[in-house]
Amino acid sequence: MVTLYRIEDEIMQSFQSQVLKQQWQDHQSHILQKAKEREDKESERRKKQEKDLDGLRAKQEKVHKELEAAVDMQRSKLSDALTALEYDLSCAEKKIVHTIKVNTTSGSEANPCLEERVALVNCLQTTKTPGTADCTFYVGAVEKCNKQSISA
């Protein structure tokens, strides 16, 4: 009977050992499976982030090109405006010089506000940034003189 118990005991231990071994293997498989799932999720998340980042970079590049085009257009308009202003000033100067010559050769009386207008034209020609308040003093002087000569 002792041997029967012994055999029975050995069978039980062997069975328990196999059950434990199987449970351990199942546990390890489960751990490995969860780790693989985490790695897959992390990989997908990285891919999504890279895709989103690439999309943002493309959008940023598009906006940057649009801004560059707008800046170039404004520079072109400014250059055109400066060219037109220089031409207009040149024409005004020629007209004033012609008027002075006509008035001085015809013997007519002195041209009212001539000095103020000449000073204004000179200021406008020498000002490097048109549209600024650099020549407002001369504009005011011409207006004041014109009002005085009209009312006189």
pLDDT at residue 108, rounded to an integer: 41
DSSP assignment of 48-75 equals HHHHHHHHHHHHHHHHHHHHHHHHHHHH
Q: Rounded CA gap, 37 and 34, in Å?
A: 5
Radius of gyration of the chain (CA): 47
The structure tokens 């940034």 sit at: 129
Higher pLDDT, 27 or 111: 27
Query: Under a CB-based contact definition with an 8 Å cutoff, are residues 120 and 141 in contact?
Result: yes
What the block records as the tokens of 143 is 């207006």
Burial (Cβ within 10 Å: 0-12, 13-18, ≥19) of residue 120? buried
| pLDDT score of 133 | 65
Confidence at residue 72, expressed as pLDDT on a 0 to 100 scale? 95
Q: Which has the higher per-residue pLDDT, 65 or 127?
A: 65
Residue 32 CA, chain-centre distance (Å), reads 50
Kindly report, residue by residue over 91-145, the tens digit of the pLDDT.
Answer: 888 887 777 666 555 444 556 787 888 888 888 887 776 666 677 888 888 888 8
Q: For the chain, which residues make up each domain, given as ranges?
A: 2-111
Between CA 112 and CA 146 the distance in angstroms is: 8
